[in-house]
Structure 1
């Protein structure tokens, strides 16, 4: 696993996993706690973490796209779109990123 962190694609795959997991925590844990128990503290804690992971995913996608010479119209836009669609990072990791 540590060997993969030395490459852009390895870091991108890790970020895809972490970003997806943070979204799951935000949607299925923090938001229900906020609206059912009137306690926004979970959203205040998990929300910024998810936001940072989202931004890191976008930056690393662009970096990996440049390094691997992805055509924007074929690959890069699909990976970028994955971080906007809920749980899309899991899909793009399996279908696109695992090939590299």
Structure 2
């Protein structure tokens, strides 16, 4: 389950950055392409975000996280590059 969380954390972080790139770069350069890419990128990011939150709750006991650490892990999902930090610093291989 820990490997699944690591995979989801990295994938969610990448999808977040791709979503930002679509909003900031592609929208300025090619608005029709932006609209075409928005739904699939947004849907993938949404599914990965929900998976990250659910799997974080599931592995809380296995990782010996207290409430504060779980809150930090959940908060990191809202910040760009946050999930990369969590994957490196908080997730221990059990």
- Please give the range of the TM-score, normalised by the shorter of the 2 chains: 0.7 to 0.9
TM-score (norm 1): 0.80
Gaps in structure 1 of 5+ consecutive residues: 1-7
Structure 1 residue 66, shift from structure 2 partner: 3.4
Structure 1 residue 27, shift from structure 2 partner: 1.1
Higher relative contact order (CA 8 A, sep 6+): 2
> What do the CA deviations read for 1:12-36 (whole angstroms, capped 9, x no partner)?
11100100111121112x2222343
| Cα gap change, 1:96 to 1:68, in 2 (>3 Å) | closer
Paired residue secondary structure (1:66): coil
Structure 1 residue 62, shift from structure 2 partner: 0.3
Q: Which runs of 4+ in 1 moved over 4 A?
A: none
Residue number in structure 2 paired with 1:91? 85
Residue pair 1:33, 1:42 contacting (<8 A) in 2 also: no
Gaps in structure 2 of 5+ consecutive residues: none
Residue number in structure 2 paired with 1:3? none
- Whole-angstrom CA distance in 1 between matches of 2:27 and 2:39: 10
TM-score (norm 2): 0.85
